[in-house]
Amino acid sequence: MSKNRDDSPPPRFQRPRYGVDAPAFPATLAAVGAACCLAAGRSRPGRNAMATAGTALFASTGIYLHTTLHGKLRIWRRELDQVGLKGDERLLDLGCGRGAVLIEAARRLPTGHAVGVDLWSGKDQSGNRPEVTLANAAAAGVADRVEVQTADMTALPFADGSFDVVTSALAIHNIPSTEARYRAVDEAMRVLRPGGQLIVADFWPMARKYAAHLGQGTLRGLGPGYWYGGPWLGVTLLHAVKGR
């Protein structure tokens, strides 16, 4: 289990707090929207166009924040309920961040175990640290069945067939190269037992490429609750089963 990086006491939460995905993005949307609205108030030429652009950017910011704070959680609860977990499985979450998917999975594993791996980038999620994930697990009452490790998803430190389920939410696309993203997908399949399930949520172009690389899997859009600002950044679910 991961230890704190310094001697400061670990955070304590009354309820899990999962932060904001890619926090610079909604901040930029809101800032540009505000600039458009200010420009609309200062000059008559193009006023309507600037006001419309500002309103649209503020709306996108609201949609983004709803997804990252609420929508994705509801959707992952629904998807995990549909996996058919018996409760004793071993589950691995790639790019677990502050534990939104990891902890929801652990709630469904009373006699199982949920492992999360991440490189803990604050650019990809606000306040992304292993001690925060563990504090969230404690707040959710699942600390006894949650473990986090610092690990690269392109070279997982687990034996073949170690897990019954592998999940990942908006993480694999953060890997810089196409080759390395495919390596992460291959690693996910390697650590699955035969008959195990891979469940990946990512942007449509990425999810489609993962499925093509694997040569299998079903793809399904997750709808407005998983839009990062609008339908142009909607999320698709890839579900694949490892052959026996």
The string of pLDDT tens digits covering residues 93-142 is: 999 999 999 999 999 999 999 999 999 988 878 888 999 999 999 999 99
Confidence (pLDDT) at 4? 43
Residue 165 backbone zone (phi > 0: left; psi -120 to 50: alpha; other: beta): beta
- The structure tokens 């600037």 sit at 50
Q: Which residues pair with 113 in a beta bridge?
A: 90
Mean pLDDT value across the chain: 91
Q: What is the spatial distance between Cα 36 and Cα 127, in angstroms, rounded to a whole number?
A: 30
Mean pLDDT across 231-241: 96
**What distance separates the 2 farthest-apart alpha carbons in the chain?**
68
Q: Where are the alpha helices (DSSP H) in the chain?
A: 24-42, 47-66, 72-81, 100-107, 130-139, 178-191, 204-214
Confidence (pLDDT) at 2? 46
pLDDT tier, 71 (very low <50, low <70, confident <90, very high otherwise): very high
Burial of 45 (0-12, 13-18, 19+ CB in 10 A): exposed
pLDDT tier, 1 (very low <50, low <70, confident <90, very high otherwise): very low
pLDDT tier, 147 (very low <50, low <70, confident <90, very high otherwise): very high
Percent above pLDDT 70 for the chain: 94
Q: What is the spatial distance between Cα 100 and Cα 75, in angstroms, rounded to a whole number?
A: 11
Confidence (pLDDT) at 127? 84
Contacting residues for 70 by C-beta, under 8 A, at least 6 apart: none
Does the structure show a pLDDT above 60 at 200? yes
Mean pLDDT across 44-56: 78
Dig out the tokens for 240 from the structure.
């694949």
Confidence (pLDDT) at 134? 96
Say if CB 93 and CB 114 are below 8 A apart.
yes
Q: What is the spatial distance between Cα 25 and Cα 78, in angstroms, rounded to a whole number?
A: 26
**Torsion sign over Cα 1, 242, 76, 19:** positive
Q: Beta strands 90-94 and 113-118: pairing type?
A: parallel
Residue 149 backbone dihedrals phi, psi, to 5 degrees:
-135, 150
CA angle 121, 124, 128 (to 5 degrees): 50
> What's the distance, Cα to Cα, between the start and end of the chain in Å?
31
Confidence (pLDDT) at 35? 86
